[in-house]
Amino acid sequence: MSRKEKLFAMVRIGFAESLAYRGEFLIWFLTTNMPLVMMLLWMAVAKDGPVGRFGTREFAAYFLTTVVVRLLTGAWVAWQLTMEIRTGTLARRLLRPVHPFVAYACEQASALPLRALTVAPLVVIILLTLGTDLFSSELSHWVVFPLALAGALCIRLGVMMTIGSLALFWDSALSLYDAWLALFFVFSGYTIPLELFPAWIQPLVNWLPFRYMMSFPVEIVMGHLDGRQLLVAFVYQWGYALLFSVLALTIFRRGLKRYAAFGG
Amino acid sequence: MTILSDTASVSHAIVANDLAKHYRVHRREAGISAALRSLFARRFETIRAVDGISFAIDPGERVGFLGPNGAGKTTTIKMMAGLLHPTTGTVTVAGHRPAARHHDFLRAITLVAGQKQQLFWDLPPVDTFELNRAIYDVPRAEYRQRLDELVGLLEIESVMQKPTRQLSLGERMKCELAAALIHRPALLFLDEPTIGLDIAMQATIRRFIADYNARHGASVLLTSHYMADVAALCPRVIVIDHGTIIYDGTLEALAQQLRPEKRIELRLTATANAPSAWDCGDRGRIVEREGTRIVIQAPQGVVKEILAQAIDELPINDLTVADAPLEEVLGALFDKAAADRQARDPDQTADTGKSVAIEKR
């Protein structure tokens, strides 16, 4: 049996589960509203004149695209992994001839069709109200956008699996994710377009992984990046995806040696 | 301690050599001051959950793994299933080192725990079956055939398309077994598979396990607190207490060793002849006498004589001759083990028998 068929089976069961939990998903969807709050705030600021290149319409386009990226790259594996380690239910995954991370990744990926379905009306609203002139007209940007979304999702999964795996060593590992989220909100472009940061902080912003989880895909569809900038950003993005994946696998492998499987 | 040779693992389904698992656990007294103290000086204790056990199990063998709560049974099973890394010693299962979790090893085993589930809670069991078909590489035609067999034996046709959360405990357990056996494992680790089930369902599960073992020659390692499970399924038992093996052999031999006497139960037709006046002399002793029921414990050699006397002197309606109940035999074994431990280390209490070291940090 091919590896593809196995992955498809896992994605299919994850999709069936996401349909079973559609109410929960809808609530999550409706509560992903921080960019909308920020949009209103920044639009109020831009009423008297643009902030950098952002006028009211640009802020609206930026933050609505942010919502789309957030919905398509959201994940919950840090909470799931931590909970399964603490309750011992990780044992169920360890008994199967599939690496638990592959299974988690398939489960996260299986939620994408439902998310795409809910994001579609939002995209239509954006285009009807703001028009298409605020977004990139270059075909190449739209071609690489899914790759940037995939990279953003991979970094998020890598970070979440790294922090989740730390629960094998430390009961309170999830508190690290809270700290990570605090930095993410500031440095990812989720609450403020990154180019509005002072020039002296820009190198740090470009160096940290947060930009590549949120702002980078948004910058692509808004046509803010030229070819060279795109390439450099992709190298950073997939470099971070690889780094966090290796880190997560290493911590998980070492942690299993001391796993007590209590309750499992 | 018996150390099994390396070549033993070739012919055995499972070989454990001096296998041990020690846990380091944090301990503190109740109360705020103890909580504050533990911020600066944490007290740790090393628990010897499994303390150097050795045994071998052959392909197709059915073995009961018995012991009181906390004896180390589940820890041992988890080491054999690859969920826990041993602290010391080795274990080989189906030719593999379980902790490496090689995919061939994982395809060769299954673990069914009565209190845990692998079925997806909100989806019908048939979805889990289908997922297991894919991840265990079972060809579709073979899957259909195996599923038909499991569905027939377990009688789950009418329930496997309902969401798992809507199934009764018994229905769920039968579906758990089906999900765990789709890939036809050669080794079954069953950790209290009948817990919480009614008598009829327990019997169904037992019949199914025996049938699976007979059809496919799979080895079965069973833990259960229901002695009926063990008596029905396991010709051999390994008894573990305080992390060490205190008995490994057949149930008959164990009963013979600890409770060699037979138990004769007489049921009388009436109480007119006042059974309290009846006895069997020094050939046996009456251990219960209640209404029309008399229970006598006596050595095997005199059973015939006692029966002849009873039939001659009492208005007997029914009689049975049996070994002592398994619970009683095991109780005697644990008492003996506790006495042996006490004799070896008079300072040790039963509760602290598993602690080996306390360290402060």
Residue B85 banded pLDDT, cuts 50, 70, 90: very high
Q: How many CB pairs under 8 A join A and B?
A: 78
Query: Which chain B residues touch A15 with a CB distance below 8 Å?
Result: none
- Position A135 pLDDT exceeds 50: yes
- Position B57 pLDDT exceeds 90: yes
Q: What is the DSSP letter of B325?
A: P
- Report CB contact under 8 Å: B116, A92: yes
- Position A223 pLDDT exceeds 60: yes
- Position B118 pLDDT exceeds 90: no
Average pLDDT value for residue range B217-228: 91
Q: What 3 state SS string does A198-209 have? A: CHHHHHHHHHCC
Sheet holding B219-223, edge to edge: B109-113, B187-191, B219-223, B62-66, B236-241, B244-250
The reply to whether A94 touches chain B by the CB within 8 Å rule is yes
The reply to whether A259 touches chain B by the CB within 8 Å rule is yes
Residue A157 banded pLDDT, cuts 50, 70, 90: very high
Domain boundaries defined on chain A? 3-256
Residue A251: per-residue pLDDT:
97
The better pLDDT of the pair A177, B3 is held by A177
Residue B273: per-residue pLDDT:
56
Average pLDDT value for residue range A147-151: 97
Q: Give B150's contacts (C-beta < 8 A, 6+ positions apart).
A: B156, B177, B178, B181, B182
Q: Give B247's contacts (C-beta < 8 A, 6+ positions apart).
A: B237, B238, B239, B254, B333
- State how far residue B239 is from chain A, nearest Cα, in angstroms: 22
A226-255 residues touching B, CB cutoff 8 A? none
Angle between helices A3-20 and A112-130 in degrees, nearest 10: 70
- Whether residue B34 contacts residue B41, with contact meaning beta carbons closer than 8 Å, is answered with no
The better pLDDT of the pair A153, B333 is held by A153
Residue A87: per-residue pLDDT:
87
- Report CB contact under 8 Å: A10, B122: no
Minimum-distance CB partner of A17 among B122, B135, B138: B122
The residue in chain A having the minimum alpha-carbon distance to the alpha carbon of residue B128 is: A13
- Name the pairing type of β-strands B293-298 and B262-268: antiparallel
Query: Which chain A residues touch B137 with a CB distance below 8 Å?
Result: 1, 6
Helix (H, G, I), strand (E, B) or coil at B278: coil
Query: Which chain A residues touch B116 with a CB distance below 8 Å?
Result: 88-89, 91-92, 264
Q: Phi, psi (5° rounding) for residue B28? A: -155, 155
- Position B123 pLDDT exceeds 80: yes
Residue A1: per-residue pLDDT:
60
Please report where in the chains the tokens 């056996």 appear, as a residue. Answer: B181
Residue B337: per-residue pLDDT:
87
The residue in chain B having the minimum alpha-carbon distance to the alpha carbon of residue A21 is: B122
Residue A26 banded pLDDT, cuts 50, 70, 90: confident
Residue B5 banded pLDDT, cuts 50, 70, 90: very low
DSSP of A18-76: HHHTHHHHHHHHHH--HHHHHHHHHHHHHTTS-BTTB-HHHHHHHHHHHHHHHHHH---
Residue B194: per-residue pLDDT:
87
Query: Which chain A residues touch B134 with a CB distance below 8 Å?
Result: 1, 5-6, 8-10
The better pLDDT of the pair B175, B272 is held by B175
Condensed to tens digits (0 to 9), the pLDDT of residues B171-196 reads: 998 999 999 999 999 999 999 888 88
Helix (H, G, I), strand (E, B) or coil at B257: helix
Query: Which chain A residues touch B99 with a CB distance below 8 Å?
Result: 257
- Report CB contact under 8 Å: A10, B131: yes
A57 CB-contact burial (10 Å; exposed 0-12 / middle 13-18 / buried 19+): middle
The reply to whether B311 touches chain A by the CB within 8 Å rule is no
Q: Give B152's contacts (C-beta < 8 A, 6+ positions apart).
A: none
- Report CB contact under 8 Å: B122, A264: no
The reply to whether B49 touches chain A by the CB within 8 Å rule is no
The residue in chain B having the minimum alpha-carbon distance to the alpha carbon of residue A96 is: B106
Beta bridge partners of B360: B43
Tokens coding A205: 């912003």
- Whether residue B197 contacts residue B174, with contact meaning beta carbons closer than 8 Å, is answered with no
The reply to whether A3 touches chain B by the CB within 8 Å rule is no
Q: Which of B41-45, B92-96, B161-165, B331-335 has the lowest mean pLDDT?
A: B41-45
Task: Supply the mean pLDDT for chain A.
Answer: 90
Query: Which chain B residues touch A94 with a CB distance below 8 Å?
Result: 82-83, 101
Q: What is the DSSP letter of A2?
A: -
Q: Which of A146-155, A219-228, B169-178, B288-297 has the lowest mean pLDDT?
A: B288-297
Residue B361 banded pLDDT, cuts 50, 70, 90: very low
Q: How far is CA B269 from the centre of its chain?
A: 39
Condensed to tens digits (0 to 9), the pLDDT of residues A192-202 reads: 999 999 999 99
Count of H-run helices and E-run strands, chain B: 12, 14
Helix (H, G, I), strand (E, B) or coil at B240: strand
Angle between helices B125-135 and B140-154 in degrees, nearest 10: 140
Q: What is the DSSP letter of A98?
A: S
Angle between helices A100-110 and A112-130 in degrees, nearest 10: 40
- Report CB contact under 8 Å: B123, A20: yes
Minimum-distance CB partner of A97 among B107, B113, B131: B107
Residue A263: per-residue pLDDT:
53
- Whether residue B54 contacts residue B2, with contact meaning beta carbons closer than 8 Å, is answered with yes
Tokens coding A42: 């920044």
Residue A15: per-residue pLDDT:
83
Task: Supply the mean pLDDT for chain B.
Answer: 86
- Smallest Cα–Cα separation from B160: which of B140, B174, B146, B149? B174
- Report CB contact under 8 Å: A20, B122: yes
Q: Is the pTM of this model over 0.80?
A: yes
Amino acid identity for residue B148 in this structure: D
Q: Phi, psi (5° rounding) for residue B31? A: 105, 160
Average pLDDT value for residue range B234-249: 93
In angstroms, rounded to a whole number, what is the distance separating the alpha carbons of residues B4 and B23? 25
In angstroms, rounded to a whole number, what is the distance separating the alpha carbons of residues B262 and B306? 11
